[in-house]
Amino acid sequence: MIQVKLPVIPARGDEKWELLSQIVSKLESREAKKSLARNGISPVNKAVEYLKVMAMFFELEISYAVSELNKRSELRKFLRLGEEIKLRSIYSFMSKFEAEQFISLVFSILNVNAKRSRKKSSILILDWTDISLDLNPFRRRELSNKPYKWGYSTKGFFLGMKMMILIDYNTLTPLFFHIYPANTHESRIYPVILEMLKRRKLIRFGDSIIMDRGFYAYKNYLIGLRYGIIPLIIPRKNFREERLKGMVSYPLSIFASKNVEKEKKRYRKLVRKLFEGLKQNLKTLRSIIEDVIKLGKEAFSLRDLHCYTVDSVRKKCALSVLLVGMTVKLGFREKKVIQRLSEW
């Protein structure tokens, strides 16, 4: 059976094309152009990124997107591209472009205003999602030397990787993501993630981070406190507050400070806010990140990826994060709106 591919024609009044138009306009802004230049992307290479954005937006193969772009002048005009593009030049550029370079570009664009809007103490949400690759799960595979592994999510077993993502609760802006093996449990990688966030200066003393039960462990509350955050991990049914209170103690680093009493007071305040926060309805507060993740997976092609290396998956995830970030920066932040966008 031959699969018929629909033509890619910009349609006035269509919500998805209107949103894409606004995203391209944002990429044409002065701040975005500075970010592109800082990361070594010339005007010619910029065209490649716009094409990739469109391809991911409409779940198209790059080759078909190029074919449609070269065939339709109105599509080139829509993407602010003056000339046709060669498929070979796109693959050549994509292979030379380092994943870390692209990730740096994505967050330099998204965080232009996000850093300014963050208050001293922020509410953040940390969560993970499965990144399923387009692989035959019934085929016998030797996975010891492969970057993808078997993992488990609420939907069942999958073959691929996992992505940890951090968003700002107030703006819904993605601040960080990390790709890691699918067979690694969240509670085990949690300290590594906190170290990354601290090194990148994405967490400040007094920030609250809401997490689901996958991160639950008494020691993880203590680890979070030592990083100066309020680790609002949703407790399990067998959680005992008194037990956790009995485990809390001052970190040794406090006694090395110049003003020990001041640091003790700050730490006690942090502990008090933790136990106050654990009494909130954390499930409702963190539910918005599920919609944000779904937006990236369902609307912006983060399902059954045709990628089989860590770097290629990181590039694909970075592009999805960029589209999600730019969507919420354009004002699409209400839960119902995000859910509707996910169902396109």
Parse the chain into domains and list their residue ranges.
1-97, 117-291
CA-to-CA distance for 300 and 283, rounded, in angstroms? 25
Among residues 203, 210, 209, which one has the least CA distance to residue 281?
A: 210
Of the two residues 279 and 86, the one the predictor is more confident about is 279
| DSSP label of 213 | G
- Would you say 223 and 217 are in contact if contact means Cβ atoms under 8 Å apart? no
Q: What integer pLDDT is reported at residue 269 of this predicted model?
A: 95
In CATH, 117-291 is 3.10.450: no
pLDDT band (50, 70, 90) for residue 49: low
Task: Summarize pLDDT for 258-270 with one digit per residue, the tens.
Answer: 899 999 999 999 9
Task: Summarize pLDDT for 9-46 with one digit per residue, the tens.
Answer: 888 777 778 888 888 888 777 777 777 777 666 655 55
Contact partners, residue 102, CB within 8 Å, separation at least 6: 39, 314, 315, 318, 319
63 has pLDDT over 90: no
Helix (H, G, I), strand (E, B) or coil at 78: helix
- Burial class of residue 263, CB neighbours in 10 A (0-12, 13-18, 19+): middle
Residues composing the chain: 344
Distance (Å) of CA 150 to CA 118, 181, 184, 240, 265 = 37, 9, 10, 33, 46
Structure tokens at 163: 């992505």
- Would you say 179 and 207 are in contact if contact means Cβ atoms under 8 Å apart? no
CA-to-CA distance for 309 and 305, rounded, in angstroms? 11
113 has pLDDT over 50: no
Contact partners, residue 215, CB within 8 Å, separation at least 6: 126, 186, 187, 190, 231, 233
When pLDDT is averaged across residues 133-141 and rounded to a whole number, the result is 84
